[in-house]
Chain A
Amino acid sequence: MILTMGVDLGSITAKCVILQDGHQVLAERVVKGGMVGGGAEKAVAEALAAAGVAQEEIAYVVATGYGRVIFAAANEEMSEIGCHGKGAFFQEPAARIVIDIGGQDFKVIKLGAGGRVVNFVMNEKCAAGTGRFLEVMAQALGHPVSELAQIGSRATGKVAISSTCTVFAESEVISHLAADKKVADIVAGIHESIARRIAGLAQRLSLEDKILVTGGVAQNQGVVAALAERLGREMFVPRFPQSNGALGAALYAFEKSSPGR
């Protein structure tokens, strides 16, 4: 039995996956607090406890995400793009496109045979179309970010959010509230704004089925539905959307721990 670990240190959350023999997920944890605030250590400790194994039993650790370079406990670091590709292929072998929407960036990854990354595009430095954008908007509306999908599902229309910039979009949301627009419709407009931003970038790659949506924002069905509508394609959210990168890292770790496989 070989145990491997993948740790994905994002900007908002830390994710940890423990894998047995490269195919069975023993534990999966997502913890608030990414690169700062000890999120990584907490995610690792919780995952070890959940799997009922000790750190010493882990044969190989691969780190990914923005904090990968500073995570000392890792044997190796891989880019999150490679890890998301690997995780997506494991979760859904038919996947050809992965749209990962994280806290501070989003990426569209094209997969070839065997889950190999053949191309990718990423957003610019700006936060539009990311989890951070959703968080800022949720704050302006006075609702937790986790409730947005549900609120948006009650929308009867969409209030257009035209600003790309997160700061301007926030003012726009506040003006809509002041104009007594329905909160549900504003939320639908926010989801649409994210989808528009991501679809614009995704169309730079020739899209193929099947498309997987991963990352924290994949848990918001409103964004996923808006994305499906914009791209005119079905979107699939895998079993572990947020830990997909950590899962890919654990899969890499397994390949590294057992060369020749």
Chain B
Amino acid sequence: MESILQNLLEVAASPAKEVTDWKQMTGGKVVGWLPIYVPEEIIHAAGALPVSLWGGSTEIARADAHLQGFACSVVRAVLEYGLKGTYSMVDGFIFPSTCDHIQNTADIWAGLFPHRPKFDLVYPANRQSQAARGYLEHLFAGLVQWLEELTGQKVTEDKLRGSIRIYNQYRALIAELYSLRSRRPESLSGPEMGQIIKASFFLEKAEFNRRLSELLPWLEKRKVRPAPRVRLVVTGIMAEPVEVLAILDELGGAVVADDLALGARILRAPVKEELPPLAALADRHLRLGPCSTLYDCRKGRGAHLQQLVAEHAADGVLFLNMKFCELEEFDYPVLKAELEEAGIPLLFLEVEQQMSALGQVRTRLQAFLEVLEQGVVS
């Protein structure tokens, strides 16, 4: 069991190797997708391997010639990897219309790599509109066609249904893992938890499901650290750099629930298997949220965080702000006021994927935990 866990951690640490191995073994196509919402099921049904392109901790050198310094570290890293050949094994790229940074990176990308297949997934901003559902089905049908051309495989309804089932199992297993994290935070270190989720974005999902189902019963008895003194809900785009989670562990805290884009936000909301496949995927997109990147005039994130805090007996909320993510920054004042009103402590912590000096992060986390511990005691 230890070896299954070790292997998942290795996949997360060097995904390129895993993806290259898969490609050599199967001869299949690799399709990379950018944050945040992409119906991986369709890629899977086309026999391709969906892999997440969510940046990383690379040094930014080449990308600065094309992107301004105040673009978020995720798109800068994606472009850097693209330019230095890290994505050489990726056969096609999907750019969702998540935010200005990603949309404009898509255009820069098209100029830099005119011959690499690319699909722009332009979502409807207004999901309440009657037209949204039909538009989404049409959009996904276009994606099917693009993938059929790329892979040379027919995406049949049966294949789509099969992939949807596998992905629903995947989401259910992750939900079990999340439940374990809340019940027994001592089963996994913070970085291990983050890396398991990350590994799932590079492995074929039926295979990942097999490994995680084997791992779960073993994790129920595993103990790698003392029970945390402080329980936190973390929200934001992603919990990177992973050292932040290591610092949190070291200080006696633990994440017991998350509202991360690269986490709970893309892993909640199962697909309704009784609907026709593309209609079902469109339906799921309409049910996603709350999320800073999905238009929602009701701004439900504060209430959602309060619910997570209550459900998981958390002591406070950690807002991991991906620097220069305007969408997240505009959400913050609203949820801050709501959490303050509810008496839930909140820490705003700014992070970037390429971050070498973590002293200031440590100071803020330590002070926040000290505040929470006093609160817990008194």
Within 8 Å by CB of A116, from B345, B360, B374, lies B374
Known: A116-B378, A124-B350. A81 touches B360 (CB 8 A): no
Within 8 Å by CB of B363, from A81, A117, A118, A119, lies A81
Within 8 Å by CB of B367, from A66, A81, A125, lies A81
Interface contact B370-A79, CB-CB below 8 Å: yes
Interface contact B350-A79, CB-CB below 8 Å: no
Known: A124-B350, A125-B360. A79 touches B367 (CB 8 A): yes
Within 8 Å by CB of B360, from A69, A78, A82, A105, lies A105
Of residues 335 to 365 in B, which have CB atoms within 8 Å of A's CB atoms?
A: 345, 348, 350, 357, 359-360, 362-364
Interface contact B374-A120, CB-CB below 8 Å: no
Interface contact B378-A120, CB-CB below 8 Å: no
Q: Does B371 contact A (CB under 8 A)?
A: yes
By a CB distance below 8 angstroms, the chain B residues around A69 are 362
Interface contact B371-A122, CB-CB below 8 Å: no
Interface contact B374-A80, CB-CB below 8 Å: no
Within 8 Å by CB of B364, from A117, A118, A122, lies A122
Within 8 Å by CB of A118, from B348, B359, B371, lies B371
User: How many interface residues does A have (CB within 8 Å)?
Assistant: 17
| A121 to B363 Cα, complex, angstroms | 12
| A74 to B125 Cα, complex, angstroms | 55
By a CB distance below 8 angstroms, the chain B residues around A121 are 348
The tally of CB-CB contacts under 8 A between chains A and B is 37
By a CB distance below 8 angstroms, the chain B residues around A82 are 367, 370-371
Shortest Cβ distance from B209 into chain A, in angstroms?
A: 41
Interface contact B370-A78, CB-CB below 8 Å: yes
Q: How large is the interface on B (under 10, 10 to 19, 20 to 34, 35 or more residues)?
A: 10 to 19
Shortest Cβ distance from A162 into chain B, in angstroms?
A: 19
Q: For B359, B363, B364, B378, which residue has the most chain A Cβ atoms within 10 angstroms?
A: B363
| A118 to B373 Cα, complex, angstroms | 11
* Nearest opposing residue in chain A for B333, CB measure: A204
By a CB distance below 8 angstroms, the chain B residues around A117 are 367, 370-371, 374
Shortest Cβ distance from B315 into chain A, in angstroms?
A: 14
| A211 to B131 Cα, complex, angstroms | 56
* Nearest opposing residue in chain A for B360, CB measure: A125
Q: For B348, B350, B367, B370, which residue has the most chain A Cβ atoms within 10 angstroms?
A: B367
| A69 to B360 Cα, complex, angstroms | 12
| A122 to B357 Cα, complex, angstroms | 16
Q: Does B366 contact A (CB under 8 A)?
A: yes
Chain B window 131-160, contacts with chain A (Cβ cutoff 8 Å), 1 for yes, 0 for no: 000000000000000000000000000000
Shortest Cβ distance from A91 into chain B, in angstroms?
A: 19
Shortest Cβ distance from A101 into chain B, in angstroms?
A: 15
Shortest Cβ distance from B132 into chain A, in angstroms?
A: 37
By a CB distance below 8 angstroms, the chain A residues around B367 are 79-82, 117, 120
By a CB distance below 8 angstroms, the chain B residues around A125 are 357, 360
| A165 to B250 Cα, complex, angstroms | 34
Of residues 102 to 124 in B, which have CB atoms within 8 Å of A's CB atoms?
A: none
By a CB distance below 8 angstroms, the chain B residues around A79 are 363, 366-367, 370
| A119 to B370 Cα, complex, angstroms | 11
| A122 to B374 Cα, complex, angstroms | 20
Of residues 1 to 40 in B, which have CB atoms within 8 Å of A's CB atoms?
A: none
Closest 6 pairs between A and B when the two form their complex, measured CB to CB: A81-B367, A79-B367, A79-B366, A82-B370, A117-B371, A116-B374
A residues at B contact (CB < 8 Å): 66, 69, 78-82, 105, 116-122, 124-125
Sample (27) of A-B pairs whose CB atoms are under 8 Å apart:
A69-B362, A78-B366, A78-B370, A79-B366, A79-B367, A79-B370, A80-B367, A81-B363, A81-B367, A82-B367, A82-B370, A105-B360, A116-B371, A116-B374, A116-B378, A117-B367, A117-B374, A118-B371, A119-B345, A119-B371, A120-B371, A121-B348, A122-B360, A122-B363, A124-B350, A125-B357, A125-B360
